[in-house]
Chain A
Amino acid sequence: MKNNKTALFPRDLVMTALKQSFVKLNPRSMFRNPVMFTVELGTFVMLGVCIWIAAGETSQGSLAYNAFITAILFITVLFANFAEAIAEARGKAQADSLRKTREDTPAKKVFAVGEIFTNEIKIVPSSELRKGDSFVCEAGDIIPMDGEIIQGLATIDESAITGESAPVIRESGGDKSSVTGGTKVLSDRIIVKVTTEPGESFLDKMIALVEGASRQKTPNEIALTILLASFTLIFIIVCVTLKPFADYANTSITIAAFISLFVCLIPTTIGGLLSAIGIAGMDRALRANVITKSGKAVETAGDLDTLLLDKTGTITIGNRKATHFWPSGNTRENDFIEACVLASLADETPEGKSIIELAAGKGVKHTPSANGIKFIPFKAETRSSGVDLRDGTKIRKGASDAIKNMVKKTGNGFPVETEDKVKEIAQNGGTPLVVSRNESVLGVIELQDIIKPGIQERFERLRKMGVKTVMVTGDNPLTAKYIAQKAGVDDYIAEAKPEDKMNYIKKEQQGGKLVAMMGDGTNDAPALAQADVGVAMNSGTQAAKEAGNMVDLDNDPTKLIEIVEIGKQLLMTRGTLTTFSIANDVAKYFAIVPALFITSIPALQALNIMHLKSPESAILSAVIFNAIIIPVLIPLALRGVAYKPIGASALLRRNLFIYGLGGIIVPFIGIKLIDMVLALFM
């Protein structure tokens, strides 16, 4: 499912999009896009002019020329429709492929009162499941629908959704009770309650968003549309007032020339690509395996100021690891390490395993023969674990105060240097484990959080974007501070309770900031709802998923960083293409304005700096350039402009240079080339 790199224009999608571009010609749907709507109107007017000429009118130029212009205008509208349609088709295809996996899977539905006995189980197609129904899944079953486990525990292969092959455990109650349709149960048996009506899952909602049925314009899109509409109005004024100006100058201008000038001037490039850019943003989110509930959420992501990140899983690799052995006083290091290994032999926790790993790295192997060894499991009362060897040696490992108590009871002293080491480790954010043999202290094992490789660079990148990162952890403030410094986050919340997150978010928002957080538990739900962008993990509870405005199918806490970039790309693509589109007008003026007046004011030949062949070829070249620039830019609209975290001013300079200056120069070259080609035929 992780086919993030599909081709931009697969053949079947192109066919659908081509068909759609004609369907979208319906003026009622065109009206949503004022810029392209005026182009469509212009096409109709030109069609009328063509008929007029065919009926004998002679003042408007040849029929072939007028028909050619009409055709190009029509194609311009089609190109814009195609851009939107291909973006829709791609988004839909991506969503469909996610949805397909769960369609028509047989479901073992539980009937509370069956035909024969209560809680009878019958196999029905998944499409017949309704909200509130329950079904049973056993090892080997594909889960037919999204839901929440109400009974049991199972290992589940979620690779169909996440691409992650390691199975995960889901169980009723708690924060890991959610299952997704299309995933596979590997072991055990669970009873699942359906939580959404068919057609109302997040994925269905997202598909509806992409298809345009429920797509609402985002605030920025609305503002941009207003700006583009006002540019369109300015150019209407330019064209309408040109008529009396020309009358004064005793120049007659054909309707074709007026409409060509108008269509070339209005920002058709951005107008045609605007909705495609928005859809492509949601589509890119989906390709990153994030389902968004609205286009606005993606846009907001680009504006985020503060990210709340859970320490575990985001900043550090899930568990702590042993990093050092610190033998005390006269204990030989190898002796100590051996004792550590023995104490951890039966310890199945990741910490215990990491001790053995570290020891192996130091060349100390544990004796595989565990004969006669008695394992003492961890108990809450003793807060230590260990082994009793055959010769009666008792090796224990535990929290320093637990071992201290034990040692003191027998009258042995607790070495001062161990005491100091314990303090030092704790200050550095580590966890000290003290190991003793027969009630005398051997030394300390240092456990540390392992910070994910590369995470510092990511935080640095975020900082350059102006995003503040906040680490949320249950650790004590000392540990939290140490890890925060090491990982390079800007702030931390230590000993965090769910309401702490909530308060932090509110505090930031009061300061005018936009905050994002990721969460999975039911107790995260209020904070997810409060955050401007709340990303719920797909493995999280239904409540969490309802509260957030995005769902991450990968359950990957670092995803927030990607989401921010997707949001920024979306805004940037709009901004740069707007600039490009408006900058294009300079060249178009130099092509069309001299062409309009050159017959009556020959001196204006001096403004024909591109040396276009004739007034007709100049106008045609401009209109053709105006049309083909739309499909040329579709790939850019779909992929998005690359974001570089180089600071706002540098980014603006870069984009102004590429899209502003480029937008002025490119059409000069393009129009000249088209004119040279046209000159061969005219």
Chain B
Amino acid sequence: MNTELTGVVVTFLLTVLLAFPLGRYIAKVFRGDRTITDFMNPVEKFIFRFSGIDPAKKMNWKEFLKAMLTINMLWFVYAFFLLLFQDKLPLNPDGNPGQTPDLAFNTAISFLVNCDLQHYSGESGVTYLTQLLVMNFLMFVSAATGIAALVGVLNGLREKTTNNLGNFWSIFTKTVTRILLPLCIVVALILVFNGTPASFDGKDTTTTLQGDTIQVSRGPAAGMIAIKHIGTNGGGWFGANSAHPLENPNYFTNMVELIAQMIIPIAMIFALGFYLNRKKLAYVIFGVMTVGMLLLLIPTIHWETAGSPAIEKLGVAQPMGAMEGKEVRFGPASSGYWSIVTTIISTGSVNSMHDSSMPLSGMMQMLGMMINAFYGGCGVGILNYLVYIIIAVFIAGLMVGRTPEFMGHKVEAREVKIAAIVTLFSAFLLKAGVALAAYFVAHHPEMAWAVKPSAWLNNPGYHGFSEMLYEFTSANANNGSGFEGLGDNNIFWNVSTGIVLILSRFIPIIGPVAIVGLLANKKFIPESPGTLRTDSMTFGMMTFAVIIIINALSFFPALTLGPLAEYFSM
């Protein structure tokens, strides 16, 4: 095995090795056991007293969701106005302008929903103030919202029969103080010591070897880059994201950032096992997700390291693999690994340009986002997986001749209905968006928007279709990465993806919380030999099959016209 592949394998193994104890720690935090972060107690107590919150108040699933949605709405309004008027506010050393309303709408939503689509460039589109008080702030709270929703769900599954999902405010606060903040401090320190800037000074001027003078943007970036990965957010300080030498200086920081973005999603799986005391279930879920990741990853690394067949036809040797759009300091294997990791979990940060990936690698990235449950984003990945489980439980339950049960509760029409709606919406939002975009490109190429539809696409034909497909897939998965070929800072893309973002964020959170709220309220049925065990390999296989079939059936035609057509035409 060559060094590049070894790097990938070591990075993954390190991630799992670190995620396991972290999972146990997270379970302890929410169980209320003693942990090493108990010194945060006074801080939390102050926050609760200051905000008038009774952290012991029980919440049923409706109250839980109400609290979550209300605070999210407030954050949106706050972020929107700050972005709109950022040019008039302090901490703007580079004199950047305020955002247009449609861009501010898109940006505010995008960061609120843990997506970070970024239709602007960090160097010129935002100020230090908005980077810190909007981007950085929302990165913390959006990740905490996702984790809190999952913990609420776990609370429902933990008791035999209950209508108490725990106190949203308390879970949310603890997520920030006990999990996100400590981890971010560690990662930020590592980044700073490797050269990432953390300064309030404006642009710096340097003279290059050729004697040109260039302006180098900087700012208090290290902290944001830490939470960008720890919180699976993905929004970069700089426009080029983690391909930028100051955002991701070397192979070591590359590894750290890879581990940082994957650690909480994997730790949450183990936390589920410890918290519910169903370790086997956690291992089965981890197994299914890992197999899913490998099936996307291995071909991707193969295609990326093999190089482009088009260049090969020209008789040019590609010993380094496909290097277009990649950084030499990372290489194709690590870039391929990053591109899959960042798409299966909902980070969306990039260390290479996905637009330049091989067609089928691009398809793998899109599949990762369409499925959105192989590890998935902070907390929400498991919530997405739960929806697949409900459908799998239902079909499998029927197949063994018993009314389906999950964790001792009967899965009936209402739960199936909610799971079906969530699945349906994901397919609908994604394809309706692409259809709309394709319609404008095909029928109204000269619409008088800031960027005309005819100029949206960097590439014609199948790859252009992939660019549109990728953008909506990314929005629908709350991922935030982009096929950067797309001219997306205009009213169509800002508004359409903004709407897709907000729906595809909250429907898949409301759905599972409601399902578990309803399930937890039902009578508990003890397991018998006739019960289909959800922590068995067989059921893991079943869930995997459901995931593959649902996504294949929903997206096969679209993928055919994009990456598949491109691949076969090469």
Alpha-carbon distance between A513 and B532 when the two chains are bound, in angstroms:
15
Nearest-neighbor residue (CB-CB) of B537 within chain A: A649
Alpha-carbon distance between A73 and B100 when the two chains are bound, in angstroms:
52
Write 10 A-B pairs (CB below 8 A) sorted by A numbering: A235-B553, A241-B434, A243-B435, A245-B434, A248-B442, A249-B465, A513-B526, A593-B557, A594-B560, A604-B568
Smallest CB separation, A680 vs chain B (Å): 29
Smallest CB separation, B466 vs chain A (Å): 11
Alpha-carbon distance between A593 and B538 when the two chains are bound, in angstroms:
32
Quick one: which of B267-310 are within 8 Å of A by CB? none
Counting CB contacts under 8 A, is B20 at the interface? no
Whether A655 lies near B568 (C-beta < 8 A) is no
Counting CB contacts under 8 A, is A601 at the interface? yes
Alpha-carbon distance between A601 and B553 when the two chains are bound, in angstroms:
21
Whether B398 lies near A643 (C-beta < 8 A) is no
Whether A652 lies near B401 (C-beta < 8 A) is no
**Interface with A: B32-40, B73-81, B367-375, B416-424, which one?**
B416-424
Counting CB contacts under 8 A, is B518 at the interface? no
Quick one: which of B529-554 are within 8 Å of A by CB? 529-533, 536, 538-539, 541-542, 545, 549, 552-554
Whether A465 lies near B568 (C-beta < 8 A) is no
A233 neighbours in B (Cβ, 8 Å): 424
Counting CB contacts under 8 A, is A166 at the interface? no
Task: Indicate with 1 or 0, residue by residue over B548-570, a CB within 8 angstroms of chain A CB atoms.
Answer: 01001110111011001100110
Counting CB contacts under 8 A, is A55 at the interface? no
Quick one: which of B108-164 are within 8 Å of A by CB? none
**Interface with A: B425-433, B485-493, B509-517, which one?**
B425-433
Whether B542 lies near A656 (C-beta < 8 A) is yes
Alpha-carbon distance between A177 and B435 when the two chains are bound, in angstroms:
72
Whether B395 lies near A604 (C-beta < 8 A) is no
Counting CB contacts under 8 A, is B391 at the interface? yes
Listed from nearest, the 7 A-B pairs whose CB atoms lie closest are A466-B530, A575-B398, A568-B401, A230-B420, A575-B399, A466-B528, A603-B568
Smallest CB separation, B547 vs chain A (Å): 13
Smallest CB separation, A646 vs chain B (Å): 10
B423 neighbours in A (Cβ, 8 Å): 230, 234
Smallest CB separation, B408 vs chain A (Å): 7
- From known contacts A234-B424, A245-B465, infer whether A652 and B568 are also in contact, taking CB-CB under 8 Å: no
Q: Among A238, A247, A586, A647, which residue has its beta carbon within 8 angstroms of that of B557?
A: A238
Q: Among B399, B432, B565, which residue has its beta carbon within 8 angstroms of that of A579?
A: B399
Whether A234 lies near B568 (C-beta < 8 A) is no
Smallest CB separation, A240 vs chain B (Å): 7
Alpha-carbon distance between A299 and B401 when the two chains are bound, in angstroms:
9
Identify the B interface with A (CB < 8 A): 391, 394-403, 408, 411-413, 416-417, 420-421, 423-424, 427-428, 431-432, 434-436, 438-439, 441-443, 462, 465, 523-526, 528-533, 536, 538-539, 541-542, 545, 549, 552-554, 556-558, 560-561, 564-565, 568-569
Whether A219 lies near B413 (C-beta < 8 A) is yes
B538 neighbours in A (Cβ, 8 Å): 649-650, 652-653, 656
Whether B402 lies near A648 (C-beta < 8 A) is yes
Nearest-neighbor residue (CB-CB) of B552 within chain A: A586
* A219, A231, A463, A652 — most chain B CB neighbours (10 Å): A652
Whether B420 lies near A226 (C-beta < 8 A) is yes
Nearest-neighbor residue (CB-CB) of B432 within chain A: A241
Whether A583 lies near B560 (C-beta < 8 A) is no
Whether B435 lies near A238 (C-beta < 8 A) is no
Alpha-carbon distance between A653 and B408 when the two chains are bound, in angstroms:
21
* B391, B420, B539 — most chain A CB neighbours (10 Å): B420
Counting CB contacts under 8 A, is A265 at the interface? yes
Whether A649 lies near B536 (C-beta < 8 A) is yes
A248 neighbours in B (Cβ, 8 Å): 438-439, 441-442, 465, 561
Whether A241 lies near B431 (C-beta < 8 A) is yes
Smallest CB separation, A625 vs chain B (Å): 17
A226 neighbours in B (Cβ, 8 Å): 413, 416-417, 420
Alpha-carbon distance between A597 and B560 when the two chains are bound, in angstroms:
9
B532 neighbours in A (Cβ, 8 Å): 648-649, 652
* B400, B416, B434 — most chain A CB neighbours (10 Å): B400
Whether A234 lies near B553 (C-beta < 8 A) is yes
- From known contacts A223-B416, A572-B398, A652-B399, infer whether A512 and B526 are also in contact, taking CB-CB under 8 Å: yes
Interface SS of chain A: helix
- From known contacts A512-B526, A652-B396, infer whether A247 and B438 are also in contact, taking CB-CB under 8 Å: yes
Alpha-carbon distance between A594 and B39 when the two chains are bound, in angstroms:
62
Alpha-carbon distance between A233 and B528 when the two chains are bound, in angstroms:
36
Counting CB contacts under 8 A, is A224 at the interface? yes
Whether B400 lies near A227 (C-beta < 8 A) is no
- From known contacts A571-B403, A586-B552, infer whether A224 and B398 are also in contact, taking CB-CB under 8 Å: yes
B397 neighbours in A (Cβ, 8 Å): 571, 575
- From known contacts A234-B424, A248-B465, infer whether A572 and B403 are also in contact, taking CB-CB under 8 Å: no
- From known contacts A242-B557, A245-B434, A603-B568, infer whether A567 and B443 are also in contact, taking CB-CB under 8 Å: no
Task: Indicate with 1 or 0, residue by residue over A315-331, a CB within 8 angstroms of chain B CB atoms.
Answer: 00000000000000000
Smallest CB separation, A564 vs chain B (Å): 9
Task: Indicate with 1 or 0, residue by residue over A174-216, a CB within 8 angstroms of chain B CB atoms.
Answer: 0000000000000000000000000000000000000000000
A224 neighbours in B (Cβ, 8 Å): 394, 398, 416
Alpha-carbon distance between A647 and B532 when the two chains are bound, in angstroms:
8
Alpha-carbon distance between A238 and B542 when the two chains are bound, in angstroms:
24
Nearest-neighbor residue (CB-CB) of A513 within chain B: B525
- From known contacts A237-B427, A649-B532, A652-B532, infer whether A607 and B560 are also in contact, taking CB-CB under 8 Å: yes
B443 neighbours in A (Cβ, 8 Å): 247
Nearest-neighbor residue (CB-CB) of A464 within chain B: B529
A606 neighbours in B (Cβ, 8 Å): 568
B399 neighbours in A (Cβ, 8 Å): 572, 575-576, 579, 651-652, 655-656, 659
Alpha-carbon distance between A346 and B542 when the two chains are bound, in angstroms:
68
Smallest CB separation, A269 vs chain B (Å): 14
B552 neighbours in A (Cβ, 8 Å): 586, 589
Whether A593 lies near B431 (C-beta < 8 A) is no
Alpha-carbon distance between A589 and B395 when the two chains are bound, in angstroms:
22
Whether B569 lies near A244 (C-beta < 8 A) is no
Alpha-carbon distance between A603 and B557 when the two chains are bound, in angstroms:
15
B558 neighbours in A (Cβ, 8 Å): 241, 245
* B541, B549, B552 — most chain A CB neighbours (10 Å): B549
B531 neighbours in A (Cβ, 8 Å): 466, 648
Whether A241 lies near B435 (C-beta < 8 A) is yes
- From known contacts A220-B398, A575-B396, A648-B400, infer whether A244 and B436 are also in contact, taking CB-CB under 8 Å: yes
Whether A465 lies near B554 (C-beta < 8 A) is no
Counting CB contacts under 8 A, is A305 at the interface? yes
